[in-house]
């Protein structure tokens, strides 16, 4: 009886969040050169989130606007994805996901349109096939664009404005020169938003030179190109977002909106961001294998994951309200008001050594 009463209270007190990101799978059909999938190999546990586990979250999303079905994997590989989308939509939620674009068959596009998925993000790493295919190995630029043309035509046929198309472009030193060309492509495809990301998690020291923020000699070139491209995009009515491209060492923010959103990984763990995903650290129980690490400012650090609870055993509301989690959020919420030394001393190591914080 007490447990029932507490669950009802937790449903009523569900947190009011901008979004919850749910990692529906950690499996992938590609091998992008910078991704943990490619670089960690078998140390990254491949698994789908089960529908039963997903359902445990639903009673507590009452005041959350958007459910984003995304983690370290290709979401369309989870056979339950359409049922998960349907459940979210039946609960009045906006739904989004980002895909590598290779599984967008007519049948899948039809389902996304029929289910009124609000946002479909497509990952690109170039505006020419030679560049994109070399970085996002296992995907094919021309095939993705052809799938997106199919999506536009089918939306038109169905008289549907959704899914709204977003392009997610990873900014690297080797593909930066193509960024300007993304605007005409986006315009032709009816894209609403272009989001540029940085190489924030560097798992291979050889990739350090691919991070735009490490190329300080050309910082002016990067900044000016981005400003010009943003103006170009905005003239076409396309939202253009990016962080950086230079590091701000005194930043006391985090670009991941940790105060008003969270991530639930494929095992049900609740975390502030994908970089703290314990599934990236499965080496801990893989016995004898070398720990996975990442590079931050020329130093190597072990990947550390942490979780504030698991929706399998506890209500999402209860986890969100955990005093440890609230204290973590307060650090970023009030960061700008804190003494810098205090802020840094309270931060977990992983956040202290995180490019996402310095690119805010
Ligand atoms: S498609 Fe996404 S999850 Fe798959 S390898 Fe590329 S970056 Fe990683
Ligand atoms: S600073 Fe980095 S590790 Fe910490 S919450 Fe932000 S993105 Fe995650």
Is the distance from the beta carbon of residue 245 to the nearest atom of ligand 1 less than 6 Å? no
Give the pLDDT score at 290.
62
pLDDT above 80: residue 175: yes
Give, using CA atoms, the residue closest to atom 3 of ligand 2.
351
pTM of the full structure: 0.95
Is the distance from the beta carbon of residue 37 to the nearest atom of ligand 1 less than 6 Å? yes
Of all residues in the chain, what percent carry a pLDDT higher than 90?
Answer: 84
Give the pLDDT score at 174.
98
User: For strand 293-296 and strand 299-302, is the pairing parallel, antiparallel, or unpaired?
Assistant: antiparallel
Give the pLDDT score at 235.
97
Q: Tokens 């089960």 identify what position?
A: 50
Q: Give the residue from 80, 91, 72, 36 showing the smallest Cα distance to 54.
A: 80
The answer to whether 307 and 55 are in contact (CB under 8 A) is no
d(CA 233, CA 240): 6
Q: What is the pLDDT of residues 258-297, one digit of tens each?
A: 999 999 999 999 999 999 999 988 654 445 456 678 999 9
Give, using CA atoms, the residue closest to atom 1 of ligand 2.
351
Give the pLDDT score at 284.
45
pLDDT above 60: residue 201: yes
> Which 3 state secondary structure label does DSSP give 313?
coil
pLDDT above 60: residue 217: yes
Q: What is the pLDDT of residues 80-92, one digit of tens each?
A: 999 999 999 999 9
State the Cα angle at 287 between 284 and 289, rounded to 5°.
85
Is the distance from the beta carbon of residue 132 to the nearest atom of ligand 1 less than 6 Å? no
Give, using CA atoms, the residue closest to atom 8 of ligand 1.
35
The ligand with the least distance to the CA atom of 355 is 2
Which helix (DSSP H) or strand (DSSP E) does residue 112 occupy? Answer: helix 106-114
**Across residues 147-161, what is the average pLDDT?**
97
Is the distance from the beta carbon of residue 48 to the nearest atom of ligand 2 less than 6 Å? no
112 token code pair: 């996304």
Is the distance from the beta carbon of residue 276 to the nearest atom of ligand 2 less than 6 Å? yes
Expressed in angstroms and rounded, the spacing between residue 30 Cα and the centre of ligand 1 is: 6
Q: What is the mean pLDDT of the chain?
A: 94
d(CA 243, CA 200): 11
Is the distance from the beta carbon of residue 31 to the nearest atom of ligand 1 less than 6 Å? yes
Which atom of ligand 2 is nearest to 272's Cα?
5
**Across residues 147-168, what is the average pLDDT?**
97
| pLDDT band of 335, cuts 50, 70, 90 | confident
Give the pLDDT score at 358.
94
Q: What is the pLDDT of residues 296-309, one digit of tens each?
A: 999 999 998 889 99
Which atom of ligand 2 is nearest to 347's Cα?
4
168: DSSP letter: E
Q: What is the pLDDT of residues 126-140, one digit of tens each?
A: 999 999 999 999 999
Helices marked H in the chain — which ranges? 2-12, 36-40, 51-57, 81-90, 106-114, 129-135, 141-158, 182-189, 219-235, 316-321, 323-333, 340-346, 349-352, 355-358
Residue 245: φ, ψ to 5°: -90, 5
**Across residues 341-357, what is the average pLDDT?**
91
Q: What is the pLDDT of residues 9-29, one digit of tens each?
A: 999 999 999 999 999 999 999
Give the pLDDT score at 339.
86
Is the distance from the beta carbon of residue 122 to the nearest atom of ligand 2 less than 6 Å? no
| pLDDT band of 243, cuts 50, 70, 90 | very high
Give, using CA atoms, the residue closest to atom 8 of ligand 2.
273
Is the distance from the beta carbon of residue 72 to the nearest atom of ligand 1 less than 6 Å? yes
């Amino acid at each position: 009886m007490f447990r029932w009463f507490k669950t009802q209270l937790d449903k009523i007190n569900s947190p009011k969040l901008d979004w919850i990101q749910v990692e529906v799978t950690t499996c992938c059909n590609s091998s992008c050169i910078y991704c943990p999938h490619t670089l960690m190999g078998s140390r990254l546990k491949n698994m789908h989130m089960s529908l039963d586990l997903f359902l445990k979250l639903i009673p507590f999303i009452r005041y959350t606007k958007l459910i984003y079905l995304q983690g370290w994997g290709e979401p369309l590989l989870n056979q339950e994805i359409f049922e998960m989308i349907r459940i979210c939509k039946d609960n009045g939620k906006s739904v989004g996901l980002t895909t590598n674009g290779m599984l967008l068959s007519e049948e899948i596009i039809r389902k996304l349109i029929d289910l009124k998925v609000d946002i479909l993000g497509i990952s690109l790493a170039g505006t020419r096939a030679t560049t994109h295919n070399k970085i996002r190995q296992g995907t094919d630029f021309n095939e993705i664009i052809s799938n997106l043309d199919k999506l536009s035509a089918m939306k038109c046929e169905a008289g549907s404005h959704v899914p709204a198309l977003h392009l997610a472009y990873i900014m690297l030193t080797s593909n930066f020169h193509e960024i300007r060309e993304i605007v005409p492509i986006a315009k032709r495809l009816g894209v609403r938003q272009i989001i540029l990301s940085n190489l924030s998690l560097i798992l291979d020291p050889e990739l350090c030179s691919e991070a735009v923020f490490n190329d300080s000699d050309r910082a002016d070139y990067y900044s000016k190109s981005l400003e010009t491209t943003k103006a170009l995009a905005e003239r076409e009515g396309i939202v253009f977002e990016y962080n950086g491209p230079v590091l701000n060492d005194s930043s006391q923010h985090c670009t991941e909106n940790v105060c008003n959103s969270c991530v639930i990984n494929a095992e049900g763990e609740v975390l502030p961001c994908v970089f703290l995903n314990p599934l990236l650290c499965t080496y801990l129980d893989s016995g004898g294998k070398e720990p996975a690490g990442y590079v931050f400012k020329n130093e190597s650090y072990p990947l550390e994951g942490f979780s504030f609870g698991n929706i399998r055993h506890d209500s999402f509301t209860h986890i969100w309200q955990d005093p440890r989690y609230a204290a973590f959020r307060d650090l970023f919420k009030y960061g700008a008001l804190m003494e810098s030394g205090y802020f840094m001393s309270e931060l977990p190591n992983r956040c202290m050594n995180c490019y996402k914080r310095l690119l805010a």
